[in-house]
Amino acid sequence: MSDGKTYRGNCFCGAVAFTVTGEPAAMGYCHCTSCRHWSASPVNAFTLWPPGNVKVTRGADQIGTYHKTDISHRKWCKQCGGHVFTDHPGFQLIDVYAAVIPDFPFRPGVHVNYAETVLPIRDGLPKMKDLPKEMGGSGIQLPE
């Protein structure tokens, strides 16, 4: 599945840089209130990676972290405030925001937490009410 290709990403100012390698475990859009509130945007495009596939190459000491819940440790650059990723330690996955790895071919496969949407997107992809069962959700799909 993985071709081992590496893509570079960085924060808004460039003080924090990192790479992702191979293929993510999942890609899609999260509509949850927490993602929307933290990112100040109507939807969050995510790519979920095993921690070993994500490497910080510059500015590790410039990464700030905040966790309102144990599920999501949200990370940003202390210099510019730009968001970089969210660590989900319970899932052993890191969400690297699609917007910060512009050369990576983002191929969304699912919408999650669609029950909370403020921006319905009729793209034909599955719409999970909350999360898939394997991530502790109900696994229920909603109509678009």
Given the complex with Zn ion, which of 22 and 80 has the nearer CB atom?
80
Lookup: tokens for 131 = 């999360």
Among 5, 6, 13, 25, binds Zn ion (CB under 5 A): 13
Distances in whole angstroms, Cα of residue 48 to Cα of each of 54, 86, 129, 144:
10, 9, 19, 23
- Nearest CA to 7 among 99, 94, 86, 105? 105
State the nearest-atom distance from the C-beta of 59 to Zn ion, in Å.
Answer: 7
| Part in contact with Zn ion (CB under 5 A); list of ranges 9-17, 85-93, 101-109, 134-142 | 9-17
State the nearest-atom distance from the C-beta of 3 to Zn ion, in Å.
Answer: 28
35 part of the interface to Zn ion, by CB under 5 A: yes
- Plot region of 10 (φ>0 → left; ψ -120 to 50 → alpha; else → beta): beta
Catalog residues that contact Zn ion under the rule CB under 5 A: 11, 13, 15, 30, 32, 35, 77, 79-80, 82
